[in-house]
Each structure stands twice: as structure tokens, then as C-alpha cells.
Amino acid sequence: MKAAFLIKPQKIDFQEIEIPEPAWGEVRVKLQKVGICGSDVHLFLGHRLLEKPTIIGHEGIGIIEKLGPGVENRQLGERVAVEPNVPCQKCKFCQQGRGNICVNKRVKGLNENGCFAEYIVLPEAFAWKIPDEISDEDAVVLEPTAVAVHALFNSKTKPGDTIAIIGLGAIGLLINHLAFSVGYEVLVTEPKQEKLNLATKEGAIAIMTDGNTENQIAQLSEAWESNEVSAVFECAGVSQTASLATSAAPRGSEIILVGLSAGLSTFTPLKIAREGIHIVPSIIYDHPTDFRRAIQLIKSKIITPSKIISSISSFENLQSALELAAEGNESKIVVTFD
């Protein structure tokens, strides 16, 4: 099969390798569409170095092409979406129902070969059957939608509340879309006008900031306080915006850390404690709850996550597609297989 390996930063190499065989309890999926995630871009740019050449990519959909030993109640030809994070289900965190922070987690496209290839194998419970009511375009955005579902429902906010989002990458846009669809008010902050337009088109209120950090904190603080923001979702994944969120968060609010900055951020402990601000980490999703919820929300037409798709690219042009994604103007690029 043809597979695209990231062999070094900013270099994709197409190779012919053997088609993988499904082990006990696994299925083999022939991939049809794969979304490019922000984490793929970080790997591509070398912000995080892989130990060896790896097939990256993890937002895949396709057709079950082969069943491994022990797999029952699955059918060849089933249309499925890949859930790429596979917890061990044995460590103390998995036993506590916290598989999203499993220390032995298998991650397709990171510590195992991922979706930028013609085939992938994975445990059958992590190949989610896509209902007929869901289009391929919505299905290929299912994985980041599950991230957004986990983030929003991991907060204490309820429909009718007002939230703020910093950063309108795919996850920020999906949280915005989900929140509006279930009855929230949303304020958004984002420097890229194209992405800001996608959010405001749904009804979000754009909060623009300028000047130095002190001025930006004052501007956000005033806007969030006057609009009674109860939760701030930091989705930019930049250390500076995480610091900005903690500095400007209203009294009694939550800060949900969805972005994955590896840099150091700062906060004032006195403000956090005195004003009763809660900092809540939100990493990927819980298995199986969040994928199931995301599928039901899409199936019932409450949300249409394909709205964030901005470009389509062929598998053969993956190098160019990743370069385009790295420019930061695209909300979601989807790679298709012939």
C-alpha cells in the first residue's frame, strides 16, 4: 500500500509498504478521507520531534475491509470513523475512568502509524460505525468534534450561559458551532479575519484586541465582565493566550485549557484564588462517551461540523496540503483518496 511518512520536519516521503494485518480484536480499514489536524501541522513543522519516520494523521474515515480474529457483530463494507486514541484500560487512570490521560495510550499518527496511508488497523471498538444519516463530510470531522464535545460538556456551563473562545482553529470553531447549536451565547477572539467570519456568521460576537498585553487584558476583561462570561475556552494553544485568559477571566468563571501549548504561561495565584476562578484541563475525549455523543448530535442534525471544512486535497498532494495548513489561514483541510 502507499503510505506517507513524515521522515523529518517539513518532509513527507511516499513509500510502498505491506498492507497491515488486523490482530485479535482489530479491523482493517481502507481509508477514504482524512482531516489535517493542528497537531499534524505541529509535527510537520518539527515543533514536536518523532523518534522515527511515522505515518501521521488521525482524523480518518473509511470502510472496514477485513476483520481480525475474535471480531464479531461487524460487517465488511461498514463505513467507519477512526477514534485514534486507544487507552490501555489497565492503568490506574483507565481504572478511574480517565482513559484520556492514560500513561500507556496508543495514539494513531504519533506513537503508531496513522491515517495518511491507504489502510489502517485498529481495535474494532475504536472504529465507529457511521450512521447513514451522516455524510462523509460530517464524518471526517467527527474526531475533532468529539474534542469539542468533551471540552464544552467538561465545563460547568449550561445552555443559556455566555462563554468566550480564544483562538478559532478547528476546535475553537467547533466549540463555537456546538455551543450556538445547543443554546449558548459566544464571544470570540481571533486574529485571522476568515476564521472570525465563520464564527460571527453563526452569531458569535467578535471581541477585537490591540495594543500591548496590558491593554489587551483590559479590553477582554471589560468585554467578558459586561457580557457575564462564565467560561473562557483557550483554544489557540499559545502560551501568551493562556496567560491572557487567566489575567482577564471574570470573577467566578472557569478557564478551560483546550489548546496544547508546550510553552510556559503565567498567572497570578492571588487573583485565581480570591476570585474563585477554576482552571480546567480538557485533553481529547473520554472513550466511548464523547464519540457517541458527537455521533448523536450530528445524526440528529443538531450540529453540522463539516461547516469548518475550507479546502480539499488529494492524498498525492499531502506535502502541499500540510504546507498550506501551516500558513494558518485554513480552518480544516480534508485529504481524499482515489
Q: Which residues contact 279 (CB under 8 A, 6 or more apart)?
A: 246, 254, 255, 257, 267, 272
For residue 32, the domain's CATH number is 3.90.180.10
Is pLDDT above 90 for 159? yes
Distance in angstroms (rounded) separating the CA atoms of residues 324 and 321: 5
Q: Tell me, yes or no, if the pTM score tops 0.85.
A: yes
> Does residue 175 sit within a domain?
yes
38 inside domain:
yes
pLDDT 10s digits, 66-102 = 999 999 999 999 999 999 999 999 999 999 999 999 9
Q: What is the total count of domains within the chain?
A: 2
Q: Are residues 181 and 232 in the same domain?
A: yes
Residue 233 belongs to a domain? yes
In a shared domain, residues 125 and 184? no
Q: Which amino acid is residue 157, in one-letter code?
A: T
How far is the C-alpha of 125 from the C-alpha of 35, rounded, in Å? 21
pLDDT band at 211 (very low <50, low <70, confident <90, very high): confident
Q: Structural domain of residue 23, as residue ranges? A: 2-140+309-336
322 pLDDT higher than 90: yes
The reply to whether 20 falls in a domain is yes
In a domain, 42, yes or no: yes
User: 152 and 46, same structural domain?
Assistant: no
* b (16+ CB within 10 A) / e for 19-39: ebebeeebbbbbbbbbbbbbb
Are residue 104 and residue 15 in the same domain, yes or no? yes
CATH classification at residue 166: 3.40.50.720
The pLDDT value recorded for residue 173 is 98
In a domain, 218, yes or no: yes
Do residues 102 and 152 both lie within one domain?
A: no
Mean of per-residue pLDDT scores for the chain: 96
Residue 84 has what pLDDT? 98
Same domain, 183 and 250: yes
- Same domain, residue pair 86 and 165: no
